[in-house]
C-alpha cells in the first residue's frame, strides 16, 4: 500500500529527525501538541509505523516494552547502545553478535535467521550528571 506524503507525515518525520535519540510516539505527539500542530496521536503512530516500514526510522522496544523510534542514519541491519536516561543512541558494529547469531541458528537447523540486539545503559554524560548530584 502506498502512503500519501501528507504535511502531517512530513511534520512527524521532521520532529523525529530533530529528536536527540529514541522517542516514543506519545513523547513525539506531546512535542507536536505543544507546537499547536493539531496532529493527533493516531496520526503520529501511523506516520511512525510507515517510517519504520520504509527504513526511514529505527523502531525497537524499550526495556519497559514501549515502542520507541529514531530517525535512521544507517541503511541495513545495525545495532544500538541506548541511554535509559536521555535516550541518546549510538549505532554500533557487532561482528561477534552476527557470527554468534548465525552459528546458533545453523547449530539448531534454522535458516534465514534474523535477530535484534540493542543494549540499554546509561551514557557517560548522564552517569557524570548522576555522580555530580550525588556529590553535592
The answer on pLDDT for 2 being more than 90 is no
Average pLDDT value over all residues in the chain: 89
Q: What is the pLDDT of residues 113-127, one digit of tens each?
A: 988 888 999 999 999
Q: What is the pLDDT of residues 58-86, one digit of tens each?
A: 898 888 889 999 998 777 788 888 888 88
Cell 553535592 -> residue: 136
- Rounded to whole angstroms, the Cα distance separating 51 from 13 reads 8
Give the per-residue pLDDT at 107: 97
Give the per-residue pLDDT at 1: 45
Q: What is the pLDDT of residues 29-47, one digit of tens each?
A: 999 999 998 999 999 999 9
Amino acid at each position: 500500500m502506498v502512503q500519501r506524503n501528507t504535511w502531517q507525515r512530513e511534520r512527524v518525520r521532521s520532529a523525529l529527525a530533530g529528536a536527540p535519540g529514541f522517542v516514543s510516539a506519545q513523547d513525539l505527539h506531546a512535542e507536536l501538541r505543544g507546537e499547536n500542530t493539531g496532529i493527533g496521536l493516531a496520526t503520529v503512530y501511523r506516520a511512525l509505523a510507515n517510517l519504520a516500514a520504509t527504513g526511514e526510522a529505527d523502531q525497537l522496544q524499550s526495556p519497559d516494552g514501549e515502542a520507541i523510534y529514531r530517525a535512521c542514519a544507517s541503511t541495513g541491519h545495525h545495532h544500538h547502545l541506548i541511554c535509559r536516561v536521555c535516550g541518546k543512541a549510538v549505532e554500533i558494529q557487532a561482528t561477534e553478535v552476527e557470527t554468534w547469531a548465525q552459528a546458533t541458528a545453523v547449530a539448531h537447523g534454522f535458516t534465514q535467521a534474523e535477530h535484534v540486539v540493542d543494549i540499554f545503559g546509561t551514557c557517560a554524560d548522564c552517569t557524570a550528571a548522576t555522580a555530580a548530584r550525588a556529590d553535592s
